[in-house]
């Protein structure tokens, strides 16, 4: 479940492995917590978000994926899209010079 939430966080942000974006999910005592981070390459800007949800025997992978989307939406509300777009543009420019 944690991996599904982490992947959905990354997917919703449009982030690949070349961006400083991270997600960490854990389930402790029936609480599923997902933490997300989006940072600029120079480290000057960093967005850290977290959300929790109850996790029971009836919880599903779809619930975990929803948590990933919700945490990504939090990051987007705080400006993550600008960081991701600038890093994607920089990567595209660098690939043209190779």
pLDDT at 15: 78
pLDDT at position 96 is 67
pTM reported for the whole predicted model? 0.86
Ranges of H-type helices in the chain: 2-13, 61-77, 80-96
Give CA–CA dist 79/32, Å, rounded.
Answer: 24
Q: Which domains does the chain have, with CATH numbers?
A: 2-96 (3.30.160.40)
Q: Read off the DSSP letter of residue 97.
A: T
pLDDT tens for 58-79 read 999 999 999 999 999 999 999 9
């Amino acid at each position: 479940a944690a991996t599904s939430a982490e992947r959905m966080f990354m997917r919703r942000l449009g982030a690949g492995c070349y961006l400083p974006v991270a997600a960490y999910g854990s389930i402790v005592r029936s609480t599923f917590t997902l933490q997300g981070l989006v940072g600029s390459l120079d480290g000057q800007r960093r967005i850290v978000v977290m959300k929790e949800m109850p996790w029971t025997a009836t919880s599903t992978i779809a619930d975990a994926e929803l948590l990933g989307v919700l945490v990504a939406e939090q990051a987007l509300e705080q400006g993550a899209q600008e960081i991701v777009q600038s890093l994607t543009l920089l990567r595209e420019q660098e690939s043209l010079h190779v």
